[in-house]
Structure formats: C-alpha cells, structure tokens
Amino acid sequence: MVDLSAVVAEIAAEMQAAPDRGVPAQYIPGLRDVDPARFGMAVIEMDGTCHLAGDADEAFSIQSISKVFALTLALGAVGDQLWTRVGREPSGTAFNSIVQLETEHGIPRNPFINAGAIVVSDVLLGRHEPREAIGEMLRFVRGLAGEEDIIVDRAVAAAEMETGHRNMALAHYMHAFGNLKNPVERVLGFYFHQCALAMSCRQLALAGRYLMARGVQPGATAGERGRSVVSPQRARRINAVMMTCGHYDGSGEFAFRVGLPGKSGVGGGILAIAPCKASIAVWSPGLNARGNSQLGTLALERLVQRTGWSVFDPG
C-alpha cells in the first residue's frame, strides 16, 4: 500500500527545492506579483481522506480551471445542444489563438480554449445579468467545495478586462459569425470574473470530487449520502475533454506524462482527476512554454509514478 500522505509530503519537499520553476504569467499584476517559490498540493480520496502539503490552503487565481465548472453548468443548462456551438476536439494551438476560428466559421474547437469558454459564458449568461451569472457560478463552486469563503478577486477581473484585447478580438470575431448572442462586453465581463475566482488547492480538489466519483459529490461525512451533480456519462465526458483539451497545445504531453484528465490555469493551478481514486489540485505559479504550470505538471507526474494512477491502467 502506498502511504499517500508521505508521498504528497515528499513531492512537496522535492518541488520546494526544484531550481527550474518556470515563469509566472506576466500580463497582469495579480499574477505577475505572485511569489514563484509557492507550491501547494491537495489529494482527496474517494473516502474523503485529504492529504495536503505546502501552500495547499493558500488561495490563488484559478483562471482557466474555471472552464471545467462553466462547462458543467452549461451542459446542465442546455445539454448536448452546447456541442452545436463549440466542438470537442483538441486545438493543437495556444489557449488564446484565433487562427482556427476563420476556417471553422466561428465555432471554437473545444470549451477549454479561451474562444470556447467565451461561447460557454454566452450560453450561461442567457438572458441574465452578468452579476447574476457570476453569482450562480460562485454558488456552484462554493456548493461543490462545501465552503463559503470562495471569492472573485475583483482586482484580477478588472485587470483582465483592461488587458483583454485578444479575448475581445476572439469574442467580436465569433459574434460576427453569429456564435455569441449577448453583447461582447457583457459576455467578457462574466468570463473574466470566472477566471478571477480565487481558490486554494484544497478547495479546488474538494470542488472536483464529482468528476472523480461518477458525477456524485460525496457527502460531508462518511455516513451522509452524496448529491448527484452530473450523470456518470457526463462526468466521463467532461473528464475526456479535460484529457484531450485541458492543457491546450500541451494536452498530448500532459496525457503522456501524467495520464489523467487535467485542467490547467495560467495562475499556475492544475485540477487533475484519477477516476474513482482521487481528486487532485496542485499549484505552482511558474509556467512552462505552453502556459501550463511547470512544477504542477512535474508534481503530478511524480504522484502517478508513485501511486500507479492512470486512466490507461485502472489497476
């Protein structure tokens, strides 16, 4: 039997000492100013046992990891119709790329690149005010994590808005193809606030448990029954999109090295799911060339080496 607590502590110690930590995102102060020495890790097992190490309780900007929760809500709202407006193929291009939108008529490749997440935001906005949509998202993640102190970092959201010319370009371009129904400013206001959700590794791993547990959010105590968030099939499918698209043009490399569904964010976090085994969150702000957490990926690679977890070998 693997001593998971020891493994998680060991990996955190190794990461603390790692010399090559990548570079934090530089485009806004809220990300640029985070200390690259930070590292946190949380592993929550099916029975609720929680293993924490390093800065696992420190809140950070979850950025694109929010795309998993947004996709879940959008599938709940419109079901499989969503797939008429966004694809589910890996893009092989950067997270904020515009190139494929021209030949593919404003239909983004998948919901985890920015263009796709902007369409998902438009779907969730529906006829609501951005404020209501943000409130719904907050309630959703707070409910999933079972914690009320999850907030949107308004300074980060405002800075995203000020510097978000690429995202504006993506949104206007898709609007021109008729694939956004709401005004661009409202859709992006909602999108940037999702990205600015601040959560700790522990909270993220808690929030991701439904993807580990066939769509069921486990109860708070051992005896308590869980709550169905999505069907088992939908949980499998969200995991499939995380595996194929969750790391942009680094998704193949992540599948090769880690072999678990995972979603990264430019704040340096990664949510990874070992189905029926664990919900895992790691955070290290330094990014690799593809905009994914350098040490977060390495930590997950070491975790699966030591536990044997892989969707390609359920064990």
Instruction: Tell me which residues touch ligand GLN (CB under 6 A).
Output: 63-64, 95-96, 114, 160, 167, 195, 265-266, 291
Distance CA 231, CA 309 (A): 23
Q: Are 57 and 200 in contact (CB under 8 A)?
A: yes
Q: Residues 92, 98, 102, 106: what is their CA dihedral angle, to the nearest 10 degrees? A: 90
Report in angstroms how near the CB of residue 30 gets to ligand GLN at its nearest. Answer: 10
CB-nearer residue toward ligand GLN: 119 or 278: 119
Residue 280 CB, nearest approach to ligand GLN (Å)? 18
Query: What is the closest distance, in whole angstroms, from the C-beta atom of residue 11 to ligand GLN in the complex?
Result: 23
**Of the two residues 63 and 239, which places its CB atom closer to ligand GLN in the complex?**
63
Cβ closest to ligand GLN, residue 217 vs residue 293: 293
Residue matched to tokens 């664990």: 278
Of the pair 70, 75, the CB lying nearest ligand GLN is at 70
Indicate which residues carry an active-site annotation: 64, 67, 191, 248, 266
Q: Cβ distance 137 to 73 under 8 Å?
A: yes
3-class state of residue 262 by DSSP: strand
What ranges in 79-200 are assigned the alpha helix state H?
99-103, 114-125, 130-145, 154-163, 165-176, 184-195
Q: Is the dihedral of CA 207, 115, 287, 272 positive or negative?
A: positive
SS3 132: helix
> Min. distance of Cβ 273 from ligand GLN in angstroms?
18
Minimum distance of ligand GLN from residue 58's CB (angstroms): 18
Exposure string for 50-84, b = 16+ CB within 10 A, e = fewer: bbbbbbbebbbbbbbbbbbbbbbbbbeebeeebee
Please, what's the b/e burial string for 202-212 (b: 16 or more CB within 10 A of its CB; e: otherwise)?
A: bbbbbbbbbbb
